Amino acid sequence: MLWNRRDFAKLGAIGLAARYTPIISAQTPAKKTGYAVVGLGRIASHFMPGARMTTNSQITGLVSGHPDKAQRLAAEYGIAKESIYNYENFDEIAKNPAIDAVYVALPNSMHAEYTIRAAKAGKHVLCEKPMATNVADAEAMIAACKAANVKLMIAYRCHYEPTHLKAVKIIRDGLLGNVQSIQSSFGFNIAPGEWRINKKLAGGGPLFDVGIYSLNACRYLTGEEPEHISAYASVIDHDGRFNDVEENVSWTMRFPSGVVASCNTTYGAQMDGFFRVYGSKGWLDVNPAFNYDGLRLTGNFSGTKIDEPSTAKDPSHFQAQAEHFSHCLQNGLEPKSPGEEGLRDMRHITEIYRSAGIKI
């Protein structure tokens, strides 16, 4: 039997998947959640159209060091001129009732500062991954949001993406039997000059940027925290790109149930993101897994073969996560990927770097 979407929807209705699925309110919300986008780079260019596609979110403010870019986007999104800020007057968002939340899409090392400043301005925070570049900053971000009584969500878009949710559900439903082993990788060949290879901005190399997808996937696939981690890192291309950060990291993890996982990340090769899970009753694979679209789930388990390419198009992942956070804000719910989820990854990343002998 081949599985189809209807089968999954049916299982979802009766099964465990419910808790992994954003609950969409049956009623149209009275007022859309207004987001100020902080940092108008590549990821913001996916989030903004994604948020526009939701029923419950809108872009109501921009924070940028580039006034021209901000004005162009403000015109495109119908954002009031007074809702354009820069990094100096950012804190004035406190006085802007059109802004309910900020979406922090800055280089990694700036996540903590702008999350904390947003919290102090009384705004909820949707912060990109990696949450921060060290555990102390991550803890300070959580504390600041608690103190200000605002919600903090980390933008783990795969937590809200149907292919990943289905993979998790297949595992939770026992269709793979006892999971034994997981493989996952994600990396790319980075261009010179990117902020991602500047340690002051990025905090580290591919592990912070893309390896985190594999780490996070191993955690939601197992539903466990790794209790042992060992890692190696290296720089092979001495071409000026890796003076600051590592080029490669490979690491192995052991989870409390005995599941072992091995992951790779790189800035030195095209490494399509994927994960593969091996269980006593079969395997499943999501490949590609971490792209913005074109995901494909295949598997052979419990006597069932599946091959399900996702037809969703970018920016659907960004739409789903904005929809979820806005829904939480409008209904007083905790997001599925709160600051604490980001903090757990930060702790594991710290351990991976420690094991690999890299000081972050």
Catalytic-labelled residue, pool 32, 123, 129, 169? 129
Which of the residues 213, 220, 292, 353 is marked catalytic?
Answer: 213
The residue count for binding a second copy (CB under 8 A) is 46
Q: Quote the least distance from Cβ 284 to a second copy, whole Å.
A: 11
Q: Is 20 a catalytic residue?
A: no
Q: By CB under 8 A, which span of 5-13, 36-44, 72-80, 223-231 interacts with a second copy?
A: 223-231
Q: Which is nearer to a second copy, 108 or 266 (CB)?
A: 266
Nearer to a second copy, 85 or 290 (CB): 290
Instruction: Work out whether 302 is an interface residue with a second copy (CB under 8 A).
Output: no
- Smallest gap from Cβ 261 to a second copy, in A, equals 7
If DSSP states are collapsed to H, E and C, what string results for the chain?
A: CCCCHHHHHHHHHHCHHHHHCCCCCCCCCCCCEEEEEECCCCCHHHHHHHHHHCCCEEEEEEECCCHHHHHHHHHHHCCCHHHEECCCCHHHHHHCCCCCEEEECCCHHHHHHHHHHHHHCCCEEEECCCCCCCHHHHHHHHHHHHHCCCCEEECCHHHHCHHHHHHHHHHHCCCCCCEEEEEEEEEEECCCCCHHHCHHHHCCCHHHHHHHHHHHHHHHHHCCCCCEEEEEEECCCCCCCCCCCCCEEEEEEECCCCCEEEEEEECEEEEEEEEEEEECCEEEEECCCCCCCCCEEEEEECCEEEEEECCCCCCHHHHHHHHHHHHHHHHCCCCCCEHHHHHHHHHHHHHHHHHCCCCC
Residues 131-160 that bind a second copy (CB under 8 A): none
Is residue 278 a contact point for a second copy (CB under 8 A)?
A: yes
Among 228, 305, 313, 354, the residue binding a second copy under the rule CB under 8 A is 228
Select from 33, 266, 316, 321 the one that contacts a second copy (CB under 8 A).
266
Among 45, 183, 302, 304, binds a second copy (CB under 8 A): 183
**200 annotated active-site:** no
CB of 35 or CB of 290, closer to a second copy: 290
Taking CB under 8 A as the criterion, the residue among 101, 207, 271, 297 binding a second copy is 271
- Identify residues 230-259 at the interface with a second copy (CB under 8 A): 230-237, 247-254, 257-259
Does residue 260 interact with a second copy by CB under 8 A?
Answer: yes
Pairing mode of beta strands 33-38, 57-63: parallel
Residues tagged active-site: 129, 213
What residues line the site for a second copy (CB under 8 A)?
177-181, 183, 185, 187, 189, 228, 230-237, 247-254, 257-264, 266, 268-271, 278-280, 282-283, 300, 355
